[in-house]
Structure 1
Amino acid sequence: MMSHSAAIIFNFFPLLHFMLRRHNDAAWNIRTFLRNQILNFDFSADLRKVEPWSRSNWSHTDLLRMREGMVGAQLWSAFVPCRSQHMDAVQIALEQVDLLRRLIRLHSKHLHLVSTSEEVWEAHRLGRIASILGIEGGHAIGNSLAILRSFYDLGVRLLTLTHACNTPWADCSSAGEVKAFGSSLPEDHQPGLTEFGKVVVHEMNRLGMIVDLAHTSYATMREVLTVSQAPVVFSHTASHALCPTPRNLPDDILKLVAKNGGVVMVSFYSHFLTCNETSTMDDVIAHINHIRSVAGIDHIGIGSGFDGIDRTPIGLEDVSRYPHLFARLINPNNTMNTALPTSASSSTTVLPHWDENDVKKLAGLNFLRVLTAVEEVRSRWKEKSVLESEENLPEAFLEGRAQCISSISMLSENGHRTNQSVPQLPDAQWALP
């Protein structure tokens, strides 16, 4: 049973959670199961009783359970698989953004597309779930600032700089992931963010798009936290001190996030919580408390990972279970009929007190603060007439990996189009019919 205090918080404050954008998040499930054909798809049904969703270990979300879980805002993801890099990544990203926009429109009684922090509150006033669009994988922009700007115009407000593969301008979190998916960086590249990567971050700051550093390498994280003029987020991660995986954040990075003003959003993926296949709600709380103790209460959020993970904590099996987590934080003695805490949980010996204001920050205020700050940077730069960036990715970074890219789209390092393979035809043959 949810405590009275937790009920008050959820009734008057929107909960934001992040659906991890991996190969099987909600939008990717729809692509896989329905080929993005959603006109006859009832997202308001209990998908636990609908094939093939009921057979999938990766399916944790539908409108019925979101309402039960008192979700007030959702970061929906257009996930783009690494194998599409340098091929059809941009097309896939556009198709997934289109899917999400249509899904939100078809369920407009429940969902409300938002692009600003004020619109999040407006959706809450309307009793709808604020829906924010994000893209996972910087390869989705095709190394083009023009495409980045176009995604912003379509309503995308968050970009995860990498997924499980390097881009030509940023490193991902794991050498193992690079080996599996292939690196796009020159042999003499120093790990981290390239100069063009810094331009991407600058352009995201100018646009008012949130920089998401989940999946990036520690070197990339440190460089972005140095160059970004706006707060960043880590949309789905956990504490390296409790589970030493390259996807989790060490304490020195947590301190840099606090200095940046960003937010670390805790994943519910068991492998990130305990470094094995099982975990409990207490493990999630242990990571939340550790990150709070290092970075501070203003820099912690909920990342979950629902619909992108197949190993969830006992007691947090799907989106309907959020209220139980917050009730447990407010009242640690509110025990559940679950397995005993694992080693990660027991590593936190002094439990901080969580009052209602603390829980509100965790549930969404911290993320909204970041979104507002990102918008403020955009406004300040607009007042200063900061213009869009026109830099281009040096062609050397695509050497050997541009088989599916025409010479027409290739730009030389001085910013002019290359003409080496452009046929020199009479003007009449170039004229439109």
Structure 2
Amino acid sequence: MPVKIFDAHCDVLSKLLEDPELDFRQEKDRLDVTLDRMLESNIGFQNFALYLPAKFSGNYRHILESIDLFHERILSNRQIRGIRTKNDLKLAQSEGLIGALLSLEGVDALQGNLTYLRILFYLGVRSVGITWNYANWAADGVLEPRKGGFTSQGLKLIRECNRLGMILDVSHLSEAAFWELASQSEKPFIASHSNASHVCPRLRNLNDAQIASIIQTGGVIGITFVPSFVHAEEPAEMDHLLFHIDHICSLGGSRHIGFGSDFDGIKEKITGLEHAGKYDRLVDLLQKHYSEQDVERFIYKNWYDFYMDHLPEDNQFTD
């Protein structure tokens, strides 16, 4: 039986926001992730990021419009089920449907208003990446020159995410902010699309201490397909991903590795892994180098188990 795939990050909603006429089902020229391609490579779960391109200026209204697009263009397909709770996750798996999750990439549009955060949680958003690459009202991103941590309002955001059960995502955070979040959060956190800086020394990648922290707290690291984060020299090949997997495993992370492609958020691609329809080629590569159990963990089970542990129960919304 083919191994299902769980991908923790793509940016197709950003492209749909910029051009609502794009056809999510089969727009192969301008979308990396389409319904046809997901079915072709056996993607079982996909996390769709709410990321606002610069021209939308961090406006909360555009976040709501993106959620509307998620329902109108993604969930309207009968092969896809929206995931808000543990039960949704189980049903998608048992019914053989593609599970679709929502995440927020960058809290800029919340404008420091935690009511906006709660509304997104009620609407089904289940994880939050605090920044993109630069600073916002909550924290500094990894490319912010001052390399600061969280603001006082940003620390309140961490506490409110913990209270709600909103999963915190450290991809794009500055290192100072990473360690502040690690010390303040009472719950495990993730890096949805980051690699190992030991293998490829880029600011967006995680150093060994950061990787160990995520492992220790029970989080998951989504290895990403951004070529410059995979291999220091072009071109990046699929084989280069194995070095990141091996390194994280050497730190005790075999149960804390997943994938977060960043498809539709990248222009350059790994050779042989240019879009979601080729994800199954990565599975084939992994099966040549790792045990069947490890491949299942990396490509699917580690993310699935994490979300099963940390998504809310159905009765949280009915009692």
Report the equivalent of 1:370.
306
Within the candidate set 113, 128, 132, 2:82 is matched to 113
8 A contact 2:38–2:277 mirrored in 1: yes
Give CA deviations for 1:375-405 in whole Å, capped at 9, x if unaligned.
Answer: 47x99xx9xxxxxxxxxxxxxxxxxxxxxxx
Conserved? CA contact 1:82–1:163, under 8 Å: no
Identity %: 29
User: Which residue identity lines up with residue 39 of structure 2 in the other structure?
Assistant: R
Deviation at residue 148 of structure 1 after TM alignment: 0.3
> Match of 1:419?
none
Return closer, same or farther for 1:232/1:318 CA change in 2, 3 Å cut-off.
Answer: same
> What does 1:68-87 align with in structure 2 at a 5 Å threshold?
68-81=40-53
SS in 2 for 1:157: strand
- Residue 19 of structure 1 is matched in structure 2 by 9
1:90-169 to 2 correspondence within 5 Å?
90-107=60-77, 109-169=78-138
Matches of residues 346-357 of structure 1 in structure 2 within 5 Å?
354-357=290-293
Q: What secondary structure is seen at the aligned counterpart in 2 of 1:175?
A: coil
Residue aligned with 1:289, SS: helix
Alignment pair present for 1:303 and 2:260: yes
Distance apart, 1:278 and its partner CA: 1.9
Secondary structure of residue in 1 paired with 2:44: strand
Q: Structure 1 residue 132: deviation in Å?
A: 0.4
Residue by residue over 1:205-255, the C-alpha shift from the partner in whole angstroms, topping out at 9 and shown as x without a partner, is: 111111111100111111111221211111111111111111000011111
Gaps of 5+ in 2: none
Whole-Å Cα distance in 1 between the matches of residues 54 and 162 of structure 2?
Answer: 25
Aligned equivalent of 1:29: 15
Structure 2 counterpart of 1:43? 24
Q: Is the 8 A contact 2:84 2:311 kept in 1?
A: no
Tell me the residue number matched to 2:295. 359
1:278-300 deviations in whole A, cap 9, x for unaligned? 20000112112212222411111
Structure 1: runs of 5+ lacking an equivalent: 1-7, 49-53, 179-189, 333-353, 383-433
Aligned counterpart for 1:274 among listed residues 227, 231, 236: 231
Paired with 1:249 and 1:221, the residues of 2 have a C-alpha distance of: 10
Tell me the C-alpha RMSD between the 2 structures.
2.1
One-letter code of the match for 2:63? A
Structure 2 partner of 1:215: 172
What is the alpha-carbon distance in structure 2 between the residues aligned to residue 229 and residue 68 of structure 1?
A: 39
In the alignment, the residues of structure 2 paired with residue 220 and residue 296 of structure 1 have an alpha-carbon distance, to the nearest angstrom, of 22
Residues 194 and 223 in structure 2, CA contact (< 8 A), matched pair in contact too: yes
CA offset at residue 200 of structure 1?
0.8
> Contact (CA 8 Å) 1:211, 1:233: kept in 2 or not?
yes
User: 1:319 Cα shift?
Assistant: 0.9
d(CA) in 2 for partners of 1:299, 1:19: 16
Question: Which protein has the larger Cα radius of gyration, Structure 1 or Structure 2?
Answer: 1
Matching of residues 342-421 of structure 1 within 5 Å:
354-375=290-311
Helix, strand or coil at the partner of 1:304: coil
Aligned partner of 1:367: which letter?
Answer: W
In structure 2, what is the equivalent of residue 172 of structure 1? 141
Q: Measure how far apart 1:164 and its partner are.
A: 2.1
- Aligned counterparts of 2:231 and 2:13: Cα–Cα separation in 1: 27
Q: TM-score, normalised by structure 2?
A: 0.92
- Give, in angstroms, the shift of residue 90 of structure 1: 0.9
Is 2:193 the partner of 1:236? yes
TM superposition score normalised by structure 1? 0.68
Superposed displacement of residue 263, structure 1: 0.6
**Which digits, 9 at most, give the CA deviation of each residue in 1:138-169, with x for residues without a partner?**
11222111100000011111111001221122
Show the counterpart of 2:33.
61
Q: What SS class does the counterpart of residue 28 from structure 1 fall into?
A: helix
Structure-1 residue corresponding to 2:284: 327
CA displacement 1:165-202 (0-9 Å, x = unmatched): 211221101136x8xxxxxxxxxxx8212332222111
Aligned-partner Cα distance in 1 for 2:305–2:163: 17
Work out the CA distance in 1 between the residues paired with 2:246 and 2:224.
Answer: 13
One-letter code aligned to 2:117: L
The CA distance in 2 between the partners of 1:71 and 1:326, in whole Å, is 11
Give, in whole Å, the separation in 1 of the partners of 2:276 and 2:115.
36
Aligned-residue offset at 1:304? 1.1
Residues 190, 221 of structure 2: 8 Å contact kept: yes
Map Cα deviations across residues 322-362 of structure 1 (whole Å, 9 max, x no partner).
22212212214xxxxxxxxxxxxxxxxxxxxx222212221
The runs of at least 4 aligned residues of structure 1 exceeding 3 Å deviation read 81-85
**Secondary structure of 1:233's partner?**
coil
The answer to whether structure 1 residue 254 and structure 2 residue 199 are counterparts is no
Q: Give the match's secondary structure for 1:248.
A: coil
Describe the superposition over 1:54-89 as per-residue Cα deviations: whole angstroms up to 9, x where unpaired.
2x4xx311111111110001101111235655xx52
Question: Does structure 2 retain, via aligned residues, the 8 Å contact 1:238–1:287?
Answer: yes
In 1, are the aligned partners of 2:135 and 2:144 still within 8 Å (CA)?
no
- Name the SS for the 2:103 alignment partner: strand
C-alpha distance in 2 between matches for 1:140 and 1:264:
25
Q: For residue 198 of structure 1, what is the aligned residue in structure 2?
A: 155
